[in-house]
Chains A and B, each alone.
Chain A
Amino acid sequence: MAGLELLSDQGYRVDGRRAGELRKIQARMGVFAQADGSAYIEQGNTKALAVVYGPHEMRGSRSRALPDRALVNCQYSMATFSTGERKRRPHGDRKACEMGLQLRQTFEAAILTQLYPRSQIDIYVQVLQADGGNYAACVNAATLAVLDAGIPMRDFVCACSAGFVDGTALADLSHVEEAAGGPQLALALLPASGQLALLEMDARLHEDHLQQVLEAASQAARDVHALLDRVVRQHVREAALLLGD
């Protein structure tokens, strides 16, 4: 069997999308009543759940409290059934830690933390089904959850991944495309200002192509923003209706 053809001559990807097209995104806010904020997102077959508590007083050791801003605490986990093979993933494994750290960096850049000194904001994200672009799905879910919690942010944080195949940048990689082993770039964008909250890439890519891939990823992030914005507005409209003026 010949290797999988990620991008056909006619410009189709394995699942039938074209290079710049996103997977189908569906999202809901306020899925849990107990938490301060929560959201659920589906990007294609990648499904993630985010829950936000806070801002509240420091729990555990008070010494970690920051004098001038709130501490953003992120925890990332994957369900045992999230991948093709069932696998127990203990808390605090390296991958989860790294992902937690990245999420934390992303959200420290977006949340107006200085409004809440000496307090703490907890963001818990769980991936229910992993089919590529886990980081992006988590960021997008967490953004919605933070918004749901009513924590002030500079802007939406919209994330998307991008890859590079045969001289073309592909937006929003699926698991098949990720597994093929090409370069993959993850980007979190503050769409209004165009600032990058996080940019991460862990494979070799020629500098000449970087701009192109970056462009594709930010465009995709802006597309995500449009979608998330619609979800938020929809949610607020519904909530307003429930409250009855």
Chain B
Amino acid sequence: MLQKREKVLHLRTFQGRTVRIVREHYLRPSVPCNSPLCPQPARCRNDGKLLSSDVTHYVIPDWKVVQDYLEILEFPELKGIIFMQTACQAVQHQRGRRQYNKLRNLLKDARHDCILFANEFQQYSYLPRERGESMEKWQTRSIYNAAVWYYHHCQDRMPIVMVTEDEEAIQQYGSETEGVFVISFKGILNVNKHRAQIEAFVRLQGASSKDSDLISDILVHGMKARNRSIHGDVVVVELLPKNEWKGRTAALCENENDDKTPGESPSEPMPTGRVVGILQKNWRDYVVTFPSKEEVQSQGKNAQKILVTPWDYRIPKIRISTQQAEALQDFRVVVRIDSWESTSVYPNGHFVRVLGRIRDLEGEISTILVENSISVAPFSEAQMCEMPVNTPENPWKVNPEEERERIDLRKTHLVFSIDPKGCEDVDDALSVRTLSNGNLELGVHIADVTHFVMTNSYTDIEARTRATTYYLADRRYDMLPSILSADLCSLLGGVDRYAVSVLWELDKKSFEIKKVWYGRTIIQSAYKLYYEAAQDLLDGNFSVIGDIPEFKEMDEKSRQAKQDELVWAIGKLTDIARHVRAKRDSCGALELEGVEVRVQLDDKKNIHDLIPKQPLEVHETVAECMILANHWVAKKIWENFPHQALLRQHPPPHQEFFSELRECAKAKGFSMDTRSNKTLADSLDRANDPRDPLVNRILRSMATQAMSNALYFSTGSCAEDEFHHYGLALDKYTHFTSPIRRYSDIVVHRLLMAAISKDNKTEIKENLFSSKDLEELCRHINNRNRAAQHAQKQSTELFQCMYFKDKDPETEDRCIADGVIYSIRTNGVLVFIPRFGIKGAAYLKNKDGLVISCYQDGCSEWKPGSLQRFQNKITSTTAGGESITFSLFDHVTVRISVQASRCHADTIRLEIISNKPYKISETELSQQNSLLMKNELVKEVTRSVEEAQLAQEEAKVKIIQEEYQEYCQTKGTSLYTLLEEIRDLALLDLSSDYGM
């Protein structure tokens, strides 16, 4: 007999009113279960297709899984699937008719081993939705309940697996009923760059509750086990039995171009699996190269179908059909993958567009951009229309209305900015003054970008998509149109600008923070200083005064007064910064010199190294002020919006990643205490070899590499004790100080503004992101930042290669340099060349199996022999019995050459030509010292070195330049100007560092 229930729905009519609708709902004691195990088939009235009886378990997908991964469930290999009616209805209501019809056809298809169970019309498996229960929760609950009923209905004879994506459901139901398993099992495929053909790793996202002992990555060995998945796909893996597990390879190999595997373990078997399904494809645009003529002929028979080689080693060759293969031979081309048949070794794709010629600078740069999915089209007209106007005829003025609402600091405060020379986008300025009560007032003023960029305006959306300004080695792609980034938002000297300020009142003696004020202001920066000038003023060297444009027009007397005022301010600022830092230290915090700075430094070290830079105290002063501002803003927005503030965290690193660092340090006789950030910093400070300053630098960069990257996150998404910033040792941190260059800062500005309006009890104008949206946004920004870093690194490598490409390694003097061994592999060593900041592999055993041997005078030769690897050294023994040992931190002489590659990026090749350190000229020695000492004399010397170097480079560049012009290879810009720009950027980088 039917049972009548009622369902109450609240629907919204077209007029926007809510109507309460009561619908009847009839339940019956039995609905067809369509299982061969059914104890009472007559009662269930099973007609139509039944589940097959030879399955080991039934699978019940959760509604979300049915919605999102229906394609997978469509595979005929999958048997014994029970679709719950609840899940089908979710598809019908939320995914539209097409998807639903697919599901219906699937259910109708007699070949598919799947059935529908009408759980909602079944008296025992129906659960009414409870008051206040969300639709999603109810659906999951219903499906689980029906699964349990079904399990008991089949007299517990068939285990049931419910597949869900909902972590909570797994938690809640995972172990509730025996025989009914709730799982989710997937990870992201990560193809090893170096051994693309063989190895891939899958990182687990959420292990099932019953397999939690599996923490490490899973190795997927070979192309076949990879089952047509491509780097970055979300895949489902099946673990192989333990006796089939394999280890990873530790040897260097041919297309090695980067070392990314800290703590390589020597081939001990690790969990190995094979891919059984792809949940989410991560196909993007790929840059490929057509095979050269000879290769085309060898591919022969099917001339229309051509295998092209992607630029990225990790991507398999792609088969495309085109008639233009010959015409496109010399170009980098974008293709898209369309499909990958199960019978095919390669995926099929189609041609999209041409990027540029191979080895042409523009072509290669756009290759890097496409490969990192960076799209930097010029700003559109609609976006430019939103921009304020500032032309000589129609200059931009301060709006009187704004003037009323903002605090005017133009008359009262001496505001100035310190930036690298030639910097255009000044987004921060500083001020300091004595208050009437004798206390000090420190101010950090940040460009008010959010005043110009409204939420969800075209510019805002574009900036959100870009998320950051992209700095490549020779150029940059701005996040905001230049009218904002270089003009109206840039806190230039002598003009009125809107700002968001943080003002602290400090005690005159102890520099204790008494009060803090946040708000919108109007400022006028009095001086736009650059670091060197500020440092000179601080040191009492006034010869730079003439360089500062603001002083030029003044007469002698007022200049003196102004100068004294400025020098006092800079001095005071430095005092405060020192105290703030000392206090951070005394609070148990540490001086890690900003870990993130280091990361960025490492990324572009080569540029820095081409022109050695000077660490000045002013750098630290400015950085400290910015950190202070970021920290206080983080606190403020977190207090006001505990669940939707955007902060930045730096999780503490895993101890096991430090093992390589500890090994290396031990080899040199230092001990590394990596238990906490403080002990680590202390031991890094101690690990200083007076004879070789490079040791410390390498150790530091290794420490950096062991750490994970700092990330943005939404405070709603994780617990408060995870907010910690390991590198800076602050409990809360965010990015506030560079809204021109980073979208995260714009979000933080909006949050701060909302917090201020909350304090003033005024209406919050900004519409803030909910925690969930913010989380999504953070993921996007983090992702873009990573892309920006990769692009920067790749472009730097590109320039390195271009630099060395035209030099003959045999004859050219500059191609021979001093290198330090920083890691040992089974068939070679990894070498760091401080002169150019290059890291790379040098083989001790070549392809023919010959090993290296060195004579007394240091010359080396290839001879037959064998290699023996130890913990921190490697010995090469020739057949003749001579042997030579390379240990960690040994200095060797290497020859740098470029290994050209047609389809991929060129790589730097290193070759050890002597086991003795390269004889360093005197000037270069002093350069290295300059990194450590900060006295006037060294500064003078380095400047002359710089100039000498520049002159040298210029001479070289000129030759290249001539050649370029002769062959018309570069369009517009010559390499000389490019290198000049690199030089500028090298200085510019520092400014981007302190913001962290």
Query: Which A residues, 167 to 196, have Cβ-Cβ distances below 8 Å to chain B?
Result: 174, 176
- From the candidates A16, A45, A85, A174, name the one contacting B28 in the complex (CB within 8 A): A16
- From the candidates A16, A23, A24, A85, name the one contacting B19 in the complex (CB within 8 A): A85
B93 beta carbon closer than 8 Å to chain A: yes
User: Can you identify 24 A-B contacts, CB atoms within 8 angstroms?
Assistant: A1-B93, A1-B96, A2-B92, A2-B100, A5-B92, A9-B104, A9-B107, A9-B108, A9-B116, A15-B23, A15-B26, A16-B25, A16-B26, A23-B4, A23-B24, A24-B2, A24-B4, A44-B4, A44-B24, A45-B22, A45-B24, A85-B13, A131-B24, A176-B23
Nearest-neighbour CB distance to chain B for A3, whole angstroms, equals 7
A10 touches B25 (CB 8 A): no
**Apart from A17-B2, A21-B2, A21-B26: 18 A-B pairs, beta carbons within 8 A:** A1-B94, A2-B93, A2-B100, A3-B97, A9-B116, A10-B32, A15-B23, A15-B26, A16-B2, A16-B26, A16-B120, A17-B26, A23-B24, A24-B2, A24-B4, A45-B22, A84-B21, A85-B17
Most-contacted residue by chain B among A14, A15, A85, A176 (CB, 10 A): A15
A12 beta carbon closer than 8 Å to chain B: yes
Nearest-neighbour CB distance to chain A for B90, whole angstroms, equals 11
Q: How far is the CA of A158 from the CA of B437 in the complex (A)?
A: 97
Q: Mark B1-45, 1 if CB is under 8 A from A, else 0.
A: 010101000000100010111111111100010000000000000
Q: How far is the CA of A14 from the CA of B7 in the complex (A)?
A: 12
Q: How far is the CA of A66 from the CA of B4 in the complex (A)?
A: 46
B498 beta carbon closer than 8 Å to chain A: no
A residues less than 8 Å from B120 (CB atoms): 16
B24 touches A2 (CB 8 A): no
Q: How far is the CA of A3 from the CA of B97 in the complex (A)?
A: 8
B694 beta carbon closer than 8 Å to chain A: no
B residues less than 8 Å from A176 (CB atoms): 23
Q: How far is the CA of A84 from the CA of B15 in the complex (A)?
A: 14
User: Which residue of B has the minimal Cβ distance to A17?
Assistant: B26
B residues less than 8 Å from A85 (CB atoms): 13, 17, 19
Nearest-neighbour CB distance to chain B for A23, whole angstroms, equals 7
Nearest-neighbour CB distance to chain A for B820, whole angstroms, equals 65
Nearest-neighbour CB distance to chain B for A26, whole angstroms, equals 10
Q: Mark A48-82, 1 if CB is under 8 A from B, else 0.
A: 00000000000000000000000000000000000
Binding site for A on B (CB under 8 A): 2, 4, 6, 13, 17, 19-28, 32, 92-94, 96-97, 100, 104, 107-108, 116, 118, 120-121
Binding site for B on A (CB under 8 A): 1-3, 5, 8-10, 12, 14-17, 21, 23-24, 44-45, 84-85, 131, 174, 176
A residues less than 8 Å from B19 (CB atoms): 84-85
User: Which residue of B has the minimal Cβ distance to A132?
Assistant: B24
Q: How far is the CA of A24 from the CA of B4 in the complex (A)?
A: 7
A174 touches B104 (CB 8 A): no
Nearest-neighbour CB distance to chain A for B590, whole angstroms, equals 57
Nearest-neighbour CB distance to chain A for B92, whole angstroms, equals 5
A residues less than 8 Å from B20 (CB atoms): 84
Q: How far is the CA of A2 from the CA of B26 in the complex (A)?
A: 23
Q: How far is the CA of A176 from the CA of B24 in the complex (A)?
A: 10
Asked whether A16 and B22 contact (CB < 8 A) given A9-B107, A10-B116, the answer is: no
A residues less than 8 Å from B25 (CB atoms): 15-16
B24 touches A12 (CB 8 A): no
B residues less than 8 Å from A84 (CB atoms): 19-21
A15 touches B24 (CB 8 A): yes
Q: How far is the CA of A159 from the CA of B208 in the complex (A)?
A: 58
A residues less than 8 Å from B4 (CB atoms): 23-24, 44
A residues less than 8 Å from B21 (CB atoms): 84
B residues less than 8 Å from A1 (CB atoms): 92-94, 96
Q: How far is the CA of A57 from the CA of B302 in the complex (A)?
A: 101
B118 touches A10 (CB 8 A): yes
B residues less than 8 Å from A2 (CB atoms): 92-93, 96-97, 100
Nearest-neighbour CB distance to chain B for A93, whole angstroms, equals 22
Asked whether A12 and B104 contact (CB < 8 A) given A45-B22, A45-B24, the answer is: no
Q: How far is the CA of A1 from the CA of B91 in the complex (A)?
A: 9
Task: List the 8 closest pairs (A to B, CB-CB), nearest first.
Answer: A16-B26, A2-B97, A16-B121, A24-B4, A15-B24, A84-B19, A44-B24, A2-B92
B residues less than 8 Å from A14 (CB atoms): 23
B residues less than 8 Å from A15 (CB atoms): 23-26
B residues less than 8 Å from A8 (CB atoms): 118
Nearest-neighbour CB distance to chain B for A18, whole angstroms, equals 9
Nearest-neighbour CB distance to chain B for A55, whole angstroms, equals 38
Nearest-neighbour CB distance to chain A for B891, whole angstroms, equals 71
A residues less than 8 Å from B121 (CB atoms): 12, 16
Nearest-neighbour CB distance to chain B for A134, whole angstroms, equals 15
Most-contacted residue by chain A among B19, B23, B25, B96 (CB, 10 A): B23
Nearest-neighbour CB distance to chain A for B848, whole angstroms, equals 67
Q: How far is the CA of A138 from the CA of B100 in the complex (A)?
A: 39
